[in-house]
Structure 1
Amino acid sequence: MAESSNFELVQIVAVLGAGVVAAPLFKRAGLGSVLGYLAAGLAIGPFGLEVIAAPEAVLHFAELGVVMFLFVIGLEMRPARLWSLRKDIFGLGAAQVAACGALLTGLGVLAGLDPAAAFIAAMGFVLSSTAAIIQILDETGETATPAGQRAVSILLLEDLAIVPLLAVVALLAPATGENLRADWMSLAMAVGAVAVVVAAGRWLLNPLFALLSAARAREIMTAAALTVVLGTALLMQVSGLSMAMGAFLAGVLLSGSTFRHQLEADIEPFRGLLLGLFFMAVGMSLNLAVVLQQWPVVALAVVGYMLVKAVGIAVVALLFGAGRREAIYRAALFAQGGEFAFVLYGAAAAVGLFDPLVNAIMSSTVIISMVLTPLAVVAARRLLPAEKPDLDGLERPDGLHGSVLLVGFGRFGQVVSQAFLARGLDVTIIDNDPDMIRSAAKFGFKIYYGDGTNLDVLHASGAAHARVLAVCIDNREAANKIVALAKEAFPNAGLLVRAYDRGHALELMNQKVDFQMRETLESALAFGRDALEFLGLPSLEAAETIADIRRLDAERFSLDQTSGLYAGAALLHSNAPKPEPFVRPRQTARALNPEAGALAEEEAAG
């Protein structure tokens, strides 16, 4: 019994340790944590070090990571936002699934599969890995971009598609009266389950969480959040639907709740851990024996399915108005099978549509495609040229003259411009963000499109004639480059620069700019003054406090210039506990009670 417990503990430590080592290494190498988890799973699985002998059990448990991931996505998808994506979900998503499904089915038939088996193999591969793609989008910060939102919309449609596809598998099985009755019963159960989840989300969950939050027990809220996610997933699974879609639906229904952020914080640690475990389980499930025995077939299947699917994705993307770069990048991102393929293939094998060898080959094909996807995405990012901005209707600077040249019309530059314009100065403004320029035009501003780090652009913008060159961009390296160009080419222009932080301000002072200002200094001081007044301090005393902080900051800045960034740290007001001087016990007694201290000394002497 003890030996069994020790072995199980060894397995747990091995799984966690492999993930902890592999994921950061692969991410640091620019390959992404997903590939790291897959490699770690392969290393400790039955075809590696054999630490884990039954990856199916791990995969079944780790699917909860995908469930929780979709719940978190649902929390971000308010119904109104989801409705705004309906064209991408049911238009772009449906078109991609249909087109790729048709192409891959044809490929399967040409490869010699039965038409029914070819269709199931194709549709399983069409359903890309939601977990892998969302993880990649999250790591690169692309989830909230328009292209990222289109990718999420396609994934939602693919997740929805698993439901009718499972029904198709049942219909393709040998038809009997019992099967038909079972199909109608399954449909009724599915509709009933969705109705229960919607009703609970609308009328039950918010009052429940309000009641639990009043108890002020964090562990109860965490348990309740897990119960909602896992309970909804279980209900959907029992009714024949996707666990992941059930969790997503629960998240959407709770997206408008006042407890949304609390729920997300409670779920996040479990979601991240289980999602990593899911990818490791996928890596463990790669049947190397089948791959080695059938390697020509597997290799052709991986290359053929990924290439054909990628072509279908790119064509659909272009037809729906995506740029060439976005179309190719989406093809690299989606040209894989996903976790729902295992569900579909398992169902097909259970009813006899797949024989064991086809099931093993297609499952291996899906896993290898998931392994190759991070590499394909990295290659696409590095090889594809940067997307050119849409400059339609924008004017470039040419032969301009003005007393002030303002570079960068973001939040900082917009406020700075008001001081110059209020005094009637002739201000030339350039920016390299087309959307910002178009937005500013609606407010009556004339902004020229140009990159301030380009010397020719500065000449065309009139820097040689300007009295002041105001650099208001928020990019530290770009600001330094503009300063270097201006110091050499336009020595007569006053150089006023927005500093990114204190370290950047010191750099600018060393470059002998005429004036620098940390971008948050004055706003933070004003915020602090108003906060003190809000807390009841008289206005005069609050102003004196801020003036003292300003004086100390100037003193500290002078010390930093001569002796380094931390030279003036002693001038900061700190909340760190200050060490008290050591006091002997008899001194402490005398300090608190002189008579008791004297009595203690007499007793000690006696």
Structure 2
Amino acid sequence: MEGLTFYALAYLAAAVFAVIISRRLGLGSVVGYIAAGVIVGPILHVSGAGSEYLEQFSEFGIVMMLFLIGMEIDPQMVWRLKGKLIGLGGLQVVLTLVAVGVFGTLLGFSWQQSALFGCVVALSSTAIVLQTLEEKGLLESDGGRASFAVLLFQDLAVIPMLACIPMLASVTTVTNSAHGETFFATLPGWASALLTLGAVVFVVAAGHYLSRPVFRSIAQLGLREVFTAAALLVVVAIAALMSAVGLSPALGAFLAGVVLANSEFKQELQNDIEPFKGLLLGLFFMTIGAKIDLSILLQHWAIVLVATLAMMLIKVGVLLPLAWLFRLRATAAWLFALGLAQAGEFGFVLLSLGRERNIFSEEMVSISILVITLGMVLTPGLFILFDRIVTLLDSRGATRADDEPEEGTVIVAGLGRFGQIVNRMLLANGHKPVVLDFRADVVDDLRKFGIRSFFGDAGRPDLLDSAGLAKANVIVVAIDDPDRAVEIVTYARRANPSIKIVARAYDRLHYYRLSDAGADYIVRELFGSSLEAAVLTLRSLGMHPYEVEKRRNVFIEQDLAGLKRMAPLFDGVTPVSDNPDFIAGFNDIGKVIENAMLGNRTAYNDLVRRGWTPPVLDDSHALKAEQSRQ
């Protein structure tokens, strides 16, 4: 079987299975797509004219990605992060580029090759790093914020890097047909410059003045598919225009995205293009993997391994001193340095363009792709190494003396939006809690207001002990990481059996886990606010406030009764979908309210007419978990 159908079948089948396995192993989707390309290319030898068309088609994935990145540029966010964005991010890119460039020149590479190698190594994997930081709950930490700022600068730095690649290539070795330069080769320099400038001005003007009325007219027609087609037309048209004047299509797409960042159609454009971007970008990484020569891997495996380790050592050697220079604390500095030690997805783009411009040979590109891929594969191991370093620093007392929290009767673990309200309420009533948070700026700001706050991960047993957990009366677990919250509750109950534990629950299943861990009071974070919205809705519909309050309390009683009945059926190990007792209990509870929702309100009204009592402390927002365990 030949033709486009065969190639599409082979690529899609390999992508689905390889990406699923890669994500299961925690390696990310990029590694999975590259592995899929290796399967359909070097292993199964699926090649031919059809694959060349797929490769050309896949390049639009890069264009769409930069278009979406441009739309995500928020001037306020950039201004807020300007210090780390320009200072830390700029220094990291420049110093890494210089270090790799000098190192490459000493090894005998040309200055053009060394400079392009420096650009590749200076970038990190945005997808892998941000996903890992979010999964570990470290994105809002000092190291996480610094990493985000540097990744954002790296994404912006890709644009001048793409623009500089043609200048790195020799005139005699440039593949002019790739970007339409042959058409303008006979024009004088001033005419070519004017055409280039005119194209950029046209993109900015059209994006600002022409796109809005066009999209508004399409939106008024209510034709979703036409809007999607128009969004793709914008990206393809910009790519064609930039190629015609000899500029990078990705540069034009990024510029158009920035122009449309404040458009009222921003969300719709993002939603329409995102699926195409994901598929085409995955196809691009697969074509990269398909070009890997396994014989080169077998012949040069030592070079690949040494080059990968050298790349990571150079990046850590640049990142760690910069972290100390910008006063990141010890653990935050190591998180920053190790988290960004790999090369990123844009490296594949730069290598591909370098091959087109004959800066790199096929063999050099194949080895470089293997180095980047191996670096991505090793990234989860770097985060494990970070955990070991944190443990080692803690055991050596790396926390400064003035950061050791004082003992207090109330401990608040986490001071996000949830913890702030708890802390303010306690302060207003004469209590002075000890606050633990891993964001140094939050800690410093609280100290200015005289609030005892201390930097650190509240999940660390040593920090909880230093905060006086053994003698505290109450601990409020207000962090938004469900797994970490369960760990804190478990340790607090074991370290101080008599302490009262108030814990924030993400949902009902998290409620059961916290209950098993030993929490006394469990607050479902959205239950109270959602119920308040329902109460206001009933009042707006004309129901008397007294009647609304009665029905509110009956609803709460039924909901809490259901929680109490279901808690013993949750074992914390078996998924609820595979737990027949839990499924049966869930289908059985709340019959009265369910019938009321279906229109049979007789039983519900009977409950309401029985009367009600004023709300008490633990009926509307929290339930004593110890009762549900009896």
TM-score range (shorter-chain normalised) is 0.7 to 0.9
Match of 1:360 among 342, 359, 362: 362
Counterpart in the other structure of 2:438? 433
1:50 matches 2:60 = no
Match of 2:452 among 439, 446, 453: 446
Letter of the 1:216 partner, please give it: G
- 2-structure distance, mates of 1:224, 1:517: 47
Counterpart in the other structure of 2:116? 124
Q: CA deviation at 1:331?
A: 3.3
- 1-structure distance, mates of 2:483, 2:256: 45
- 1-structure distance, mates of 2:492, 2:294: 62
- 2-structure distance, mates of 1:421, 1:224: 55
Q: How does 1:80-159 map to 2 (within 5 A)?
A: 81=77, 118-128=110-120, 133-140=125-132, 145-159=145-159
Counterpart in the other structure of 1:244? 250
Instruction: Please give the per-residue CA displacement for 1:384-403, whole angstroms capped at 9, x wherever unaligned.
Output: 345679966954234x464x
Q: Does the 8 Å contact 2:413/2:437 carry over to 1?
A: no
Counterpart in the other structure of 2:625? none
Q: Does the 8 Å contact 2:129/2:339 carry over to 1?
A: no
Q: Structure 1 regions of 5+ residues with no counterpart?
A: 581-606
Bigger radius of gyration, 1 or 2? 1
Secondary structure of 1:517's partner? Answer: strand
Q: TM-score, normalised by structure 1?
A: 0.78
Q: CA deviation at 1:559?
A: 2.5
Match of 1:73 among 69, 72, 79: 69
Q: In structure 2, do the counterparts of structure 1 residues 246 and 460 end up closer, same or farther at CA, with 3 Å as the change threshold?
A: closer
Secondary structure of 1:430's partner? Answer: strand
- 2-structure distance, mates of 1:129, 1:85: 23
Q: Does the 8 Å contact 2:64/2:235 carry over to 1?
A: yes
Instruction: Please give the per-residue CA displacement for 1:264-318, whole angstroms capped at 9, x wherever unaligned.
Output: 00001101111111111111122456667xx45x964x56765665555445435
Q: Which moved more, 1:50-59 or 1:570-579?
A: 570-579
1:396 matches 2:404 = yes
1:167 matches 2:163 = no
Q: In structure 2, do the counterparts of structure 1 residues 499 and 202 end up closer, same or farther at CA, with 3 Å as the change threshold?
A: closer
Q: CA deviation at 1:236?
A: 1.2
Instruction: Please give the per-residue CA displacement for 1:548-572, whole angstroms capped at 9, x wherever unaligned.
Output: 2112213323322455655254416
Match of 2:289 among 253, 277, 283: 283
Q: In structure 2, do the counterparts of structure 1 residues 552 and 106 end up closer, same or farther at CA, with 3 Å as the change threshold?
A: closer
Identity %: 30
Q: Does the 8 Å contact 1:496/1:514 carry over to 2?
A: yes
Q: In structure 2, do the counterparts of structure 1 residues 288 and 527 end up closer, same or farther at CA, with 3 Å as the change threshold?
A: same
Q: In structure 2, do the counterparts of structure 1 residues 421 and 214 end up closer, same or farther at CA, with 3 Å as the change threshold?
A: same
Counterpart in the other structure of 1:602? none
Q: Does the 8 Å contact 1:22/1:40 carry over to 2?
A: yes
Pairwise CA RMSD: 4.0
Q: How does 1:180-579 map to 2 (within 5 A)?
A: 183-288=189-294, 295-296=299-300, 300=303, 302=304, 310=312, 313-318=315-320, 320=322, 321=325, 323-333=333-343, 337-347=347-357, 349=358, 359-384=361-386, 385=388, 395-398=403-406, 400=407, 402=409, 404-424=410-430, 426-435=431-440, 436-448=442-454, 461-462=467-468, 466-481=472-487, 483-484=489-490, 487=493, 490-506=496-512, 514-561=520-567, 565-566=582-583, 567-569=585-587, 570-571=589-590, 573=593
Q: In structure 2, do the counterparts of structure 1 residues 392 and 209 end up closer, same or farther at CA, with 3 Å as the change threshold?
A: farther
Q: In structure 2, do the counterparts of structure 1 residues 488 and 20 end up closer, same or farther at CA, with 3 Å as the change threshold?
A: closer
- 2-structure distance, mates of 1:33, 1:110: 35
Q: In structure 2, do the counterparts of structure 1 residues 308 and 462 end up closer, same or farther at CA, with 3 Å as the change threshold?
A: closer
Q: Which moved more, 1:165-174 or 1:254-263?
A: 165-174
Q: In structure 2, do the counterparts of structure 1 residues 421 and 88 end up closer, same or farther at CA, with 3 Å as the change threshold?
A: closer
Instruction: Please give the per-residue CA displacement for 1:143-166, whole angstroms capped at 9, x wherever unaligned.
Output: 884312312312322331232330
Q: Which moved more, 1:224-233 or 1:316-325?
A: 316-325
- 2-structure distance, mates of 1:455, 1:327: 25
Q: CA deviation at 1:453?
A: 5.8
Counterpart in the other structure of 2:4? 8
Letter of the 2:128 partner, please give it: I
Q: Structure 2 regions of 5+ residues with no counterpart?
A: 175-183, 327-332, 571-581, 601-630
Q: Does the 8 Å contact 2:123/2:154 carry over to 1?
A: no
Counterpart in the other structure of 1:591? none
Letter of the 1:221 partner, please give it: F
- 2-structure distance, mates of 1:88, 1:218: 40
- 2-structure distance, mates of 1:87, 1:463: 37
Q: Does the 8 Å contact 1:437/1:449 carry over to 2?
A: yes
Counterpart in the other structure of 2:573? none
Counterpart in the other structure of 1:20? 16
Q: Does the 8 Å contact 1:318/1:324 carry over to 2?
A: yes
Q: In structure 2, do the counterparts of structure 1 residues 532 and 82 end up closer, same or farther at CA, with 3 Å as the change threshold?
A: same
Q: In structure 2, do the counterparts of structure 1 residues 337 and 261 end up closer, same or farther at CA, with 3 Å as the change threshold?
A: closer
Q: Which moved more, 1:327-336 or 1:31-40?
A: 327-336
Secondary structure of 1:128's partner? Answer: helix
Q: In structure 2, do the counterparts of structure 1 residues 443 and 94 end up closer, same or farther at CA, with 3 Å as the change threshold?
A: closer
Q: In structure 2, do the counterparts of structure 1 residues 463 and 317 end up closer, same or farther at CA, with 3 Å as the change threshold?
A: closer
Q: Does the 8 Å contact 1:337/1:369 carry over to 2?
A: no
Letter of the 1:32 partner, please give it: G
Q: Does the 8 Å contact 2:37/2:285 carry over to 1?
A: yes
Q: In structure 2, do the counterparts of structure 1 residues 84 and 251 end up closer, same or farther at CA, with 3 Å as the change threshold?
A: farther
Q: TM-score, normalised by structure 2?
A: 0.75
- 1-structure distance, mates of 2:334, 2:461: 31
Letter of the 1:551 partner, please give it: E
Q: CA deviation at 1:31?
A: 1.8
Counterpart in the other structure of 1:594? none
- 1-structure distance, mates of 2:537, 2:131: 36
- 1-structure distance, mates of 2:524, 2:316: 45
Q: Which moved more, 1:458-467 or 1:191-200?
A: 458-467
Q: CA deviation at 1:257?
A: 0.7
Letter of the 1:53 partner, please give it: G
Q: Which moved more, 1:527-536 or 1:226-235?
A: 527-536
- 1-structure distance, mates of 2:521, 2:79: 50
Instruction: Please give the per-residue CA displacement for 1:343-394, whole angstroms capped at 9, x wherever unaligned.
Output: 23322x4xxxx6xxx6222222332223223123233222234567996695
Q: In structure 2, do the counterparts of structure 1 residues 223 and 392 end up closer, same or farther at CA, with 3 Å as the change threshold?
A: farther
Q: Which moved more, 1:495-504 or 1:65-74?
A: 495-504
- 2-structure distance, mates of 1:202, 1:538: 51
Q: CA deviation at 1:83?
A: 6.5
- 2-structure distance, mates of 1:447, 1:530: 36
- 2-structure distance, mates of 1:330, 1:53: 37
Aligned residues: 553
- 2-structure distance, mates of 1:377, 1:523: 40
Counterpart in the other structure of 2:609? none
